[in-house]
Amino acid sequence: MSNEPISLPDFLQDVLSRVAQARAARDFGAALVWAETAAALDSESEHANPLSPVNVALFQIVYDSACDSENLVTSCGNVTTTHGDWLSYGQEAIDLLVSRLGANAPQAVRSMAIVVQGHFNNLFDQLDRHFDRDALYTLTSGQEAKLLLDTTKTVRQLIAAQETITIAKEVDLAKRGALLQICVASPDYLVVPFYTLRFLNSWDKAVFFIEAAQGIVAELKTTPAFAARSINNRDALLADLDAALESARALTSGESKLAKRSYQRMNVLGNQLGAALAG
């Protein structure tokens, strides 16, 4: 065993490797602990550099917490305490980033970080009763689910738009396809066809899932990995699915008794695309 003392750069590299390991395990809490440790080790001159290893690691935690929270609300339609846990790590990471990216940081990146911080703060202000493990359980409305979905997607897109910040932004097509299948199937369980039972309908939640499906399809169209995937009659399938989703959305938003009938085609086409992405 060498008796040579470990240098500060070696300590920092070791800590950053632990951030990467925790991220790979989707353990945001551990990733944040090690990122905060790394932030205490790097030089002050690195604080304002958005491309410093520590700042990139922090941006990755923010991005991942938003991305996983987006996927979770899309799959279940509810705001949960798990969202609160994940997003609290993202919030701590963005708070640390804003404190590090001072006046000497590039204005565009600092401004982006401040806006992302605002989005996190607004989520906790609006949805804290769902995040708090000690609070009484309350049902998630479609509007609350939409707020979480739209905000996490916006956070992800704001960070991804900074092309100089190199973080992992991979798109798992199979997972996106599975989420699409959940979204197109869910409205059928939330709307009943019988007039006497219409008080059981969750129209706003059904709209949430349809709009979430529309969002997935729209994003897939801009994803290079999707463009490279061989899918039979891709253009026709996408056009038919877009039309089916919009018809279902309009009928559901209007609480039309015809909405239930529109779900079958939406479901068939969505499952067709989801199966193609899984292959």
Assess if residue 3 is contained within a domain.
no
Tell me if 69 is assigned to some domain: yes
Distance CA 11, CA 17 (A): 10
Number of domains composing the chain: 2
Do 193 and 65 lie in one domain? The reply is no
Please give the DSSP secondary-structure letter assigned to residue 50.
Answer: T
**pLDDT for the residue 93:** 98
74 and 95 belong to one structural domain: yes
Report yes or no: 111 and 174 within 8 Å, Cβ to Cβ: no
Examine the domain organization and report whether 178 and 145 are in the same domain: no
Low-confidence ranges of the chain (pLDDT < 70): 1-6, 8, 194-200
Flag whether 2 is in a domain: no
Q: What is the reported pLDDT for 8?
A: 60
N-to-C CA span, the chain: 50
Calpha distance 69→79 (Å, rounded): 9
pLDDT at site 242: 98
Q: Which of 135, 160, 185 is the last residue of a domain?
A: 160
Same domain, 43 and 90: yes
Provide long-range contacts, Cβ within 8 A and 24+ apart, for 71-75. Answer: 71/175, 71/179, 73/145, 73/148, 73/149, 73/152, 74/149, 74/179, 74/182, 74/183, 74/212, 74/216, 75/179, 75/182
pTM of the model: 0.92
Q: Which of 111, 130, 160 is the last residue of a domain?
A: 160
Write down the pLDDT at residue 1.
Answer: 43
Which single residue is written with the structure tokens 């015809």? 258
pLDDT at 30: 97
Q: Report yes or no on 77 lying in a domain.
A: yes
Same domain, 215 and 244: yes
Query: What pLDDT sits at residue 231?
Result: 93
Please check whether residue 165 lies inside any domain of the structure.
no
CATH number at residue 267: 1.20.120
Burial 118-143 (b: 16+ CB within 10 A, else e): ebbeebeeebeebbeeeeeeeebebe
The alpha carbon of residue 51 and the mean position of all alpha carbons in its chain are separated, in whole angstroms, by: 23
Q: State whether 152 and 202 are in the same domain.
A: no
Domain boundary pick from 160, 183, 216? 160
pLDDT score of 260: 92
Q: Both 89 and 205 in a single domain?
A: no
In a domain, 41, yes or no: yes
| Domain-located, residue 236 | yes
List the one residue out of 94, 83, 68 whose CA is nearest residue 127.
Answer: 83
Residues 203 and 87 in one domain: no
User: Which tokens is 60 given?
Assistant: 């990755």
Degrees, nearest 5: CA angle 267-192-144: 75
136 and 233, same domain (yes or no):
no
Full domain range(s) for residue 137: 8-160
Q: Are residues 141 and 68 in the same domain?
A: yes
Do residues 118 and 235 share a domain? no
- 34 and 149 in a single domain? The answer is yes
Does residue 1 lie in a domain region?
Answer: no
pLDDT at 247: 98
DSSP 185: H
